[in-house]
Structure 1
Amino acid sequence: MEVAVKRVSHESRQGMKEFVAEVASIGRLRHRNLVPLLGYCRRKGELLLVYDYMPNGSLDKYLYDASSAGTLDWPQRFHIIRGVASGLLYLHDEDWEQVVIHRDVKASNILLDSEMNGRLGDFGLARLYDHGTDAHTTHVVGTMGYLAPELGHTGKATPSTDVFAFDAFLLEITCGRRPIEQNEHDNRIVLVDWVIEQWRKGLIIGAVDTRIPSGFSPDMVSLVLKLALLCSHPLPNGRPTMRQVMQYLDGDMVLPDLSSAYLSFTMLERMYDGDFNQKMLPYESSTSMGAVSDISGGR
């Protein structure tokens, strides 16, 4: 069978933590929208994780690589969105004794199988904890643009911090833009702020990726973008749960009016920005992923 092998640095302390985190968190998880872990071993000084091979690679290739960008139509994008939401709901499932917090939800960690189903992968930062307990960390890890503002103050990863990262992913796949970009004047453009501005002007549909082939459903695009803004609420209790996200996506619940559900971002920006940006630590992965042809003995 064709597999993918993730090689983890054996010498780095962070690499060992990632290896243990992936085995502990995903080793016994089975869901159609998660990349399944098939096995793991230590070989010649390397820690190896073996996964199902995802032939269509990572989602970010289809959003940002010039040769592939714009090839995903809207039905494919919505199918991926719903799949990732379903996978996160499974991880956060309130009926389980323990919950898994992914902590690094983003387009580059979403892999596409042969049928273009979105599968959440890379559990190197994940945390497994019992319901009702605090998943406290001593420093903030993750990727700029996906980190919930409360992480800089509390250091606690929760299902709600995954929901915040899911908002950035929703904007990525719908707008075809990264969460944080530099413009031609070298100014930082925060995607969620730009989409909020379009929403306030009544022009939220204008935020959609213009490269989407065969058009799109304005109602569905509007739903996804407004849901993203709801998930990006600066206060954790202002965000929906992943169960509610699925209900919104499936049309089983009506999305609340953002104008009444939202607090002023200008006020909250003053609350969070300075202190949060000082405390936030960038994360650099110590792992690499490759097809089985890169490593011998991959069967």
Structure 2
Amino acid sequence: MMNAAPIGDAPKPDRKFALAWASFAVSIAAFGLKYAAWVNTGSVALKADALETIINVVAAAAALWAIRVAERPADDNHTYGHYKAEYLSAIVESALVLVTAYAIGKTAVEGFLRPHPETAPWIGVGLNGVATLLNLAWGLTLLRKGRAERSPALIAGGHHVISDVWTGCGLIAGLSLIPLTGWVWLDPALAALVALNVLRVGWEMLRQSVSGLMDEAPDSATLTKLREVIAETATGALEAHDIRIRTVGAITFIEFHLVVPGSMTVGVVHEICDRIEAGLRRAIGRALINIHVEPETKAKHTGILLTSPPVV
């Protein structure tokens, strides 16, 4: 017997799409500020920072596409939905980040070979500081909303924006020292640090996206929580085994075998499954749950042993 749970509450694509549009607008504003900072100073480090911000613009545009595609309902060609589209967006962003790191590194090398003093450094520091504050506010918003919506595209964008904040803080501190110390070499050195930070963030984003595409199981804490929910809500059943869980974007797929007494009626079994499904959805939100019901002769005694008295 296969019992398929409804997916749960209806998604709110308009809210996620609005966040993606706002992210696109913020990334353009930040790029404008950083571009102005570079033009006014000629700083190699600020040029590197502006190059990195171009990726934010492209990534925000990719997130707009991915979120729209991910929220499409299942169809004949995609019977499990389009949720993985957001992982594709995050992978594209990761690849672009790595390309940008190379371009920034090349800029840093050129700065070491042909160092030159900055012009109007304090204007550059001020403009970059405004962009950094803008990114801080928006990055924290994206992370909070992305986790609430369970959106890989929004979370990846939030991590990238926050990495810009750390970069911006380092650049502001370093560039402020150049007019005070006369250490011209600090400019390309800061650009090299920007490249390294971009590489770090890009690799982490790529790793997380590949994990999602490969259906990596949730962390141990989540697995333990779901097993506890099954044990608490399966009153009347004997055992649950072969539990498999994967998360794809905003939805979790759960499959397991439920062992019940052979004398139990189909109606009672259905009530138990409904109770389990409701408990799982309360715990994790949207989910597609498949429960394969088996008689007690199929018990493996290796899964969740349910000690409550059977209901027949």
More helix by share: 2
TM-score between both structures, scaled by the size of structure 2: 0.27
More strand by share: 1
Whichever of the two has the greater Rg, that structure is 2
TM-score between both structures, scaled by the size of structure 1: 0.28
